[in-house]
Amino acid sequence: MTRPSPKIGVYGFTGCAGDQLMILNCEDQLVDLFGATEIRSFVMAKSDNHEAELDVALVEGSISTEAQLKHLKDIRERSKVLIAIGTCACWGGPQAMKLGDGKFEERYKKVYGNAKITVSKAIEGQPLDAFVKVDMKIPGCPIDKQEFLKSVSKLVAGKHPYLLKSPVCLECKWKENKCLLLDGKFCAGPLTKGGCGAVCPSHNLPCVGCWGPTDDLNVSAEYDLLKEKGFVPEEIITKIRKFGGSGVMELVKNLEKKEAKK
Amino acid sequence: MMILKMKKEDLPAFLESAKEWGELWGPTTKDGKTSYAKVDSLSQMDLKATRTVIPPKKFLYPPRFTMFDFDEEGFVERTGDVPKRILFGLHPCDVHGILIMDKLFLETYKDPYYAERREKTLLLGHSCIPDDKCMCFATNTDFVAEGFDLFFTDLKMFYLVWVGSSKGHDLVRMRADLFSRNLDKNDILNYTEYRKWKTAQFKAKIDLTGMPDIFELGYNSPIWDELGEKCLSCGQCSMVCPTCNCYNVVDEVDLGTAEGTRDRFWDSCMFREYSVVAGGHNFRDKRADRLRLWYTHKLQAFIGEFGKPACVGCGRCVATCPVDINVATVSTALKEQEVGK
Ligand code: SF4
Ligand code: SF4
Ligand code: SF4
Ligand code: SF4
């Protein structure tokens, strides 16, 4: 049984283009990928692009201008499935670390002053699902080749992709690493979605949370533990928010409320 | 069961001959962490280390492995490609852990992947040096009488060697010249002395008597909520516990084909996703409920079903949990109705 090749579009908004680059970096499987699918649009990779109906749109980056928002809505309208790729598209990325603090205008003024902006009006950077329905999130900074290819392969085969939901600690323990939290290091592993192979802790470097929040994170327990280890509250919250974006916004707010009551 | 005697200096020669049976694996320590690794000889092993990060369950039931390859026609099992291994240096708690895995994977429903690895792995136990986290005295797993192929008890000048299976006996016969059956009065006295010594080493504060009743009484205790608030849901406790055995199964397909693999990997009931059922309902949405399940399973339900706890007292949860949730702190908190600092 042969299925028609799915029509795919790859797009990038506010991000480092690392996720699109990672797709191009799938050297061994790139030919298969282009063979098994019909890549209708991928501006970063080719010049002959058709903006038409899509089976799957892979979208990188957060939305931070009105023009981007318009483009995103257009992509959504003509795509059966829309997948956010990379932490910026999924949760907002570092540009969303202050999300929801109500001080965007203030920050904007500080940077641009009264300069006349002719490109497109900037808005506070937010993940795709703040504006349109997102069918699936493949986070990562950048995304992991294997996780990406496994997901696409399943989509092409008409099956549901499976992404690990558990935290970085799962694979960290498979590698028999000693937990860095026990050594008093700031490891964001328990808060962060796994699938990266626990690369950082396996090199004795604490996880910084670059894959964004995991399925079920206990922000307040991590906060209490780190405070006990001697970290100051501002640093803990800044680091949790660095890649957490919309995924930790409410959790951090609750934590701050709880702390204020103490 | 048979007990033999061997001069300590003969161990390297014995292991050298045993390598004819299969790869030799033992505990090694690097950068302050101990894990089982493939070795050439005894000199590479660290027999003084009390525990490895991950217990030897990883050989019988790897963290992630492929069960079979499939295509549109059917599937082909991936059995047959497991190497023959000799694991040297398992402590009594490790062997007890494997005995529990055997119950789960070989009795009612025989798991072919586990069975194959178990068949191809020889377990050579070795006596241990307890540390302040060891709790096997509380779980009756400080000594072991079955489950191993050979067990070496270090009595300073000699080893007493328990022969626990015919495969173990085959290894002995490869170098029968190194073993003696002549045990005398002194050997008995030395062994008795050794048992006394070991029993006197334990420092952990834990008493698991009456646990099934305490769990029953404490089912609705607010202690679970308090513990749930502390737990990071990191799942490390399940990965390191020798009796945790839950897994997830996922299919992967090759790009552009209908061919692929069915993979199995370690999971944990401490994760929210673990108890999600069809329709998105979750019976254990609360962290407190998941913790209660983990500990009830170890210290109450398993006793009800198998007459012993599913905790072998290895101390790995004590050595691992970043927020000090472990069998000792949980059982104490439940008894004293207070979560310790
Ligand atoms: S080192 Fe970090 S990622 Fe690894 S187990 Fe500890 S907290 Fe988790
Ligand atoms: S519960 Fe803790 S002490 Fe008991 S077997 Fe598991 S890791 Fe070891
Ligand atoms: S828990 Fe008991 S059997 Fe295991 S290493 Fe410690 S003392 Fe030995
Ligand atoms: S009990 Fe400890 S090791 Fe287990 S999931 Fe909770 S924080 Fe992690």
Which residue's entry shows tokens 């072919």? B112
For ligand 3, atom 5: residue with the closest CA: B50
Per-residue model confidence (pLDDT) at position A29: 87
Last residue of a domain, one of B147, B173, B200: B200
> What are the C-alpha distances in Å from B25 to residues A202, A214, B87, B124?
22, 35, 5, 10
Same domain assignment for residues B249 and B311: yes
| Cα distance between residue B193 and residue B156, in whole Å | 12
Same domain assignment for residues B15 and B162: yes
| Index of the ligand 3 atom closest to the CA of residue B314 | 1
pLDDT tens digit string along B76-91?
999 888 999 999 999 9
Tell me if B305 sits within 8 A of B313, measured CB to CB: no
Helix, strand, or coil here: A51?
A: coil
Same domain assignment for residues B255 and B168: no
Last residue of a domain, one of B144, B171, B200: B200
Interchain pair A166, B236: CB under 8 A: no
Mean pLDDT of B9-37: 96
Residues of B with CB under 8 A from a CB of A: 32-33, 35, 52-54, 63-64, 72, 229-236, 239-240, 250-258, 260, 266-268, 271-273, 287, 320, 322-323
pLDDT tens digit string along A246-262?
999 999 999 999 989 88
CA of B136, closest CA in chain A: separation in Å? 22
Region of B184 on the Ramachandran plot (φ > 0 left; ψ -120 to 50 alpha; else beta): beta
- What per-residue string of b and e applies to B99-115 under the rule 16 or more CB within 10 Å gives b? bbbebbbeeeeebebbe
pLDDT, chain B, mean:
96
pLDDT tens digit string along B113-166?
999 999 999 999 999 999 999 999 999 999 999 999 999 999 999 999 999 999
Copy the structure tokens of residue B287: 């962290």
User: Nearest residue on chain B to A149, judged by CA atoms?
Assistant: B255
CA of A63, closest CA in chain B: separation in Å? 29
Q: Is B244 in the pocket of ligand 4 (CB under 6 A)?
A: no
- Ramachandran angles phi, psi of B285, nearest 5°: -70, -35
Same domain assignment for residues B194 and B83: yes
Q: Centre a 10 Å sphere on the Cβ of residue B335 and count the other Cβ atoms it contains.
A: 16
Strands in A38-42's sheet, in edge-to-edge order, are A38-42, A7-12, A54-60, A79-85, A136-138
Tell me if A200 sits within 8 A of A207, measured CB to CB: yes
Tell me if B157 sits within 8 A of B5, measured CB to CB: no
The proportion of chain B whose per-residue pLDDT surpasses 70, expressed as a percent, equals 100
Per-residue model confidence (pLDDT) at position B81: 84
User: Nearest residue on chain A to B226, judged by CA atoms?
Assistant: A221
Per-residue model confidence (pLDDT) at position B32: 87
Cβ-nearest to A189 among B53, B234, B253: B234
In chain B, the largest separation of any two C-alpha atoms, in whole Å, equals: 72
Q: A40: Cβ–Cβ under 8 A, 6 or more apart, which residues?
A: A7, A8, A9, A49, A50, A51, A52, A54
CA of A178, closest CA in chain B: separation in Å? 7
pLDDT tens digit string along B221-254?
999 999 999 999 999 999 999 999 999 999 999 9
User: Nearest residue on chain B to A228, judged by CA atoms?
Assistant: B323
| Cα distance between residue B16 and residue B163, in whole Å | 18
Where along chain A do its domains lie? 7-156, 169-261
> What are the C-alpha distances in Å from A123 to residues A74, A97, A120, A231?
18, 14, 9, 33
User: Nearest residue on chain A to B57, judged by CA atoms?
Assistant: A174
What count of Cα atoms within 13 Å lies in the side-chain half-sphere of residue A49?
A: 13
Residues of A with CB under 8 A from a CB of B: 1, 29, 32-33, 35-36, 149-150, 152-154, 156-157, 159, 162, 165-167, 169-170, 172-174, 176-179, 181-182, 189-190, 215-218, 220-222, 224-225
Q: Is residue B205 assigned to a domain?
A: no
Describe chain B by its helix, strand, coil percentages, rounded to 5. 40, 20, 40
Residue segments in chain A with a per-residue pLDDT below the cut of 70: 1-3
CA of B314 to the centre of ligand 3 (A): 6
Same domain assignment for residues B45 and B6: yes
Which of A154, A170, A182 is the best mutation test for B, with the most CBs of B within 10 A?
A170
Number of domains in chain B: 2
Same domain assignment for residues B177 and B215: no
Q: List, in sequence order, every residue forming a beta bridge with A12; answer none if it has no partner.
A: A60
Same domain assignment for residues B175 and B295: no
Domain residues for B228? Answer: 211-336
Per-residue model confidence (pLDDT) at position A138: 97
Interchain pair A32, B256: CB under 8 A: yes
Q: Which of A47, A43, A56, A45 is nearest to A8 (CA)?
A: A56
Q: Give the architecture (CATH level 2) of A7-156.
A: 3-Layer(aba) Sandwich (3.40)
| Index of the ligand 1 atom closest to the CA of residue B236 | 5
Helix, strand, or coil here: B80?
A: coil
Same domain assignment for residues B189 and B226: no
Q: List, in sequence order, every residue forming a beta bridge with B180; answer none if it has no partner.
A: B5
User: Nearest residue on chain A to B231, judged by CA atoms?
Assistant: A221
Q: List, in sequence order, every residue forming a beta bridge with A6; answer none if it has no partner.
A: none
| Cα distance between residue A32 and residue A143, in whole Å | 19
Same domain assignment for residues B148 and B12: yes
Same domain assignment for residues B99 and B136: yes
Last residue of a domain, one of B172, B200, B228: B200
Same domain assignment for residues B12 and B149: yes
Per-residue model confidence (pLDDT) at position A117: 81
Q: List, in sequence order, every residue forming a beta bridge with A65; answer none if it has no partner.
A: A122
Distinct helix (H) and strand (E) counts, chain A: 10, 7
DSSP one-letter code for A63:
E
Per-residue model confidence (pLDDT) at position B341: 64
Q: What is the dihedral of CA B137, B102, B28, B202, to 10 degrees?
A: 0
| Cα distance between residue A96 and residue A139, in whole Å | 15
Copy the structure tokens of residue A59: 């979208």
Which of A168, A173, A178, A179 is the best mutation test for B, with the most CBs of B within 10 A?
A173
Cβ-nearest to B239 among A149, A173, A181: A173
CA of B48, closest CA in chain A: separation in Å? 18
pTM (two decimals):
0.95
Q: B253: Cβ–Cβ under 8 A, 6 or more apart, which residues?
A: A153, A154, A157, A159, B259, B260
Complex ipTM:
0.95
Mean pLDDT of B250-263: 94
Interchain pair B232, A218: CB under 8 A: yes
Same domain assignment for residues B29 and B178: yes
Q: Is residue B341 assigned to a domain?
A: no
Per-residue model confidence (pLDDT) at position A4: 79
